[in-house]
Amino acid sequence: MSLIHNTADLEQGMDALVFQGRAMRMLTGLRASSLLAVFLGLTLPLMMVQYVLLIFKLPQAKTLPHAYHKRVCRVLGIRVHINGGIGSSKPALLVSNHVSWLDIVALSAVAPVSFVAKAEVGRWPFISWLAKLQRSVFVDRTRRTLVKDKAGEIAKRLAKGDNIVLFAEGTSSDGNRVLPFRSSLFSAASGDVNGNSPSAVVHTVTISYTHLHGLPIQRHQRPMVAWYGEMDMLSHVWNVLKSGPLDVTVSISEPVPLASLSGRKELAAFSEARVRRDFVEHLTSRPHAA
């Protein structure tokens, strides 16, 4: 009889776990659906507003994406912790590591910025519209001559006072490391840029995802937030929406005159060293040595 009772209790316990698992999946799915609905309700009307601002070349076209992404962070439960800042007096080239599509949201919430994006982003459904409305610079990274040709466009944007973000790894990582910076990507951010925009400065930007539901994200959990490799974007977005509130830390270095760095290789080496230093600080919570 004791064995029968123990077996019945075990079966009841298993049934309770199955029920709890189903209830949790239902709740997380409901959360994701609700967030997606609010996101689209906010985004679609503002896309039309931004389009009009761009058509008429109004100054608000630079600032609306910043205000929009701050609201998106609140909607999605993304808490952005900022170390340092970007001055408003000089145009800035922001050289950053890259972890996830969430980087766009987090960095856009820090300041009015535009991004240097790979050419294929300009062909992605819906995402391409958002990128173009944020005045992204599209670069075919497989053709070095075209990368260099974009230097003139970036120089003009910096000369007009824009802040341009360059993801220097050329791809996104798993969130546990910084990949080597590709000096070829800096061809579009050196040379002519120095001559045409002598007042431009360089900030290095380090981004990392540190907490989920207020608890520290462990090494094995970071790839759940990171979007890299051959991951399907739609399923990754859905899983992130289900997962819960995130904390992201963004460290922005003190500005350095762009003209003081001679050439793409020096710019790449300088930026990579600073980003790696600050990335270690994020993940270990230990400040770097002075």
Residue 210 has pLDDT above 60, yes or no: yes
pLDDT bucket at 56, cuts 50 / 70 / 90: very high
Among the ranges given (124-128, 143-147, 204-208, 220-224), the one the predictor scored with the smallest mean pLDDT: 143-147
The one-letter amino acid code at 24 reads: M
Greater confidence (3 vs 151) lies with 151
Residue 4 has pLDDT above 70, yes or no: no
What is the rounded CA–CA span in Å between residue 37 and residue 141?
Answer: 35
DSSP string, 117-177: EEGGGGGSTTHHHHHHHTTPEEE-TT-HHHHHHHHHHHHHHHHTT-EEEEETTSS---SSS
DSSP state of 187: G
Cβ neighbours of 21 (radius 10 Å)? 10
Q: What is the dihedral of CA 76, 221, 121, 255, to 10 degrees?
A: 80
| Average pLDDT of span 139-161 | 75
* pLDDT recorded at residue 21: 46
Rg (CA), the chain: 22
By C-alpha distance, which of 240, 233, 241 is closest to 121? 233
* pLDDT recorded at residue 284: 85
What is the rounded CA–CA span in Å between residue 45 and residue 137?
Answer: 23
pLDDT bucket at 174, cuts 50 / 70 / 90: very high
Query: Do 273 and 202 form a contact (C-beta atoms < 8 A)?
Result: no
Domains and CATH numbers, the chain: 62-284 (3.40.1130)
As a whole number, the mean pLDDT across the chain is 86
Q: List alpha helices for the chain, DSSP H.
A: 2-55, 60-76, 102-110, 127-133, 144-159, 192-196, 222-225, 233-243, 263-284
Query: Do 72 and 109 form a contact (C-beta atoms < 8 A)?
Result: yes
Report the DSSP pairing between strands 246-252 and 137-139: unpaired
Report the DSSP pairing between strands 92-96 and 114-118: unpaired
Map tokens 């630079």 to a residue.
Answer: 62
| 92: β partners | 163, 201
DSSP state of 1: -
pLDDT digits (tens, 9 = 90+) for 221-264: 988 899 998 899 999 999 999 988 999 999 999 999 988 888 88
pTM for this predicted structure: 0.88
Query: Do 135 and 114 form a contact (C-beta atoms < 8 A)?
Result: yes
